Amino acid sequence: MSGIDEVALNFDAGNLRVLNAILAIVMFSIALDLRIDDFRRVLRGPKPLIVGLLSQFLVLPALTFAMIVALKPIPSVAMGLILVAACPGGNISNFMTHRAKGNVALSVSMTACATVAAIIVTPANIAFWGNLYGPTRDILRRTEIDPVAVAITVGFMLILPLIVGMVVNARYTPFADRIRRPMQWLSMGIFVAFIVLALAANWGNFLQFAGAIIGLVVLHNALAFLGGYVTATLAGLPDRDRRSVTMETGIQNSGLGLILIFAFFGGLGRMAVAAALWGIWHAISGIALASFFARREIQE
């Protein structure tokens, strides 16, 4: 790597532990909306869930790879986009789906199932697509990323709080009902505040990198939404399910992406900026797309 790719953002072990804790709180707040019956309902009609997971873990990484091969961005940017595409759906996708008048039960089930699947699929996708492209293969060789370590990281940050949240919802339902909405808003507020503070500590580097990366992030995010919608349409899903799959594919867990970058890639500058910009942009584009869907009548 040369030049700008040698820059690592200022993000120490203490910051990483805080980000881990915040992501766990966010996942716990999502799990307060989950019940075992949600999964039973999905298993009785699993097609929309299967289509959604394929869109998220197969179609989006494939589109990402095609975009990288066509545009040939700087290797660390390419690796950042591959890593974001390998992550499960983001923590605001359920909220966005609700605004879009989509199938919220499907969205929540997709978030939960994708989070569980991410233990295996996320490191596998990072390794497969990253090694398929020469410049990113070099980054993976230098970092010697351990898929087992990634799986353990994902498990502790996402799966454990998911289980705890579901247990609280099942056994202490009145308490879960009282704290659900405040916890969701609080967790998102803390997450956004932390990202803002982290960017402030790296503002010079962020400004230096952001201009060259934002266009790629916007295009990548647009491909994610489009890929989700086209996949769901080709699969013959009803309109409400199409909206859910679209939002789940276009809203990625960039917080997890940042943690993986700082834990395994040494905070590689443009990788981290790509993930951070994703975290900002997908919220903006998601709200815009959800508002567009909300104005359109559901096609029965």
User: Domain holding 99: CATH number?
Assistant: 1.20.1530.20
Highest mean pLDDT among 120-134, 174-188, 271-285: 120-134
Give the least confident one: 27-41, 57-71, 94-108, 229-243: 27-41
Residues 79-89 have a mean pLDDT of 90
Reported confidence tier of residue 27, pLDDT bands at 50, 70, 90? confident
Is 294 part of any domain?
no
Is 298 part of any domain?
no
Residues 224-243 have a mean pLDDT of 94
Domain count, the chain: 1
Question: What token pair was written down for 273?
Answer: 């900026």
Could you write out the DSSP letters of every residue in 131-177? Answer: HHSHHHHHHHHHHT--HHHHHHHHIIIIIHHHHHHHHHHHHSHHHHH
Given a contact cutoff of 8 angstroms between Cβ atoms, the answer to whether 117 and 153 are in contact is no
Give the least confident one: 75-79, 109-113, 155-159, 222-226: 155-159
pTM score, whole prediction: 0.79
What number of other Cβ atoms are within 10 A of residue 206's Cβ? 19
Is 299 part of any domain?
no
Is 297 part of any domain?
no
Reported confidence tier of residue 172, pLDDT bands at 50, 70, 90? confident
- Residue 34 has phi, psi (to 5 degrees) of -100, 140
Is 71 part of any domain?
yes
Is 132 part of any domain?
yes
* Mean pLDDT of the residues in the chain: 80
Q: What percent of the chain has pLDDT over 70?
A: 82
Question: What token pair was written down for 44?
Answer: 């009785």
- Among residues 122, 189, 192, 108, the alpha carbon closest in space to that of 155 is found at 122
Given a contact cutoff of 8 angstroms between Cβ atoms, the answer to whether 6 and 141 are in contact is no
Is 38 part of any domain?
yes
Domain range for 27 is 3-289
Could you write out the DSSP letters of every residue in 173-217? Answer: HHHHHHHHHHHHHHHHHHHHHHHHHHHHHTHHHHHHHHHHHHHHH
Q: What is the pLDDT of residue 3?
A: 41
Is 118 part of any domain?
yes
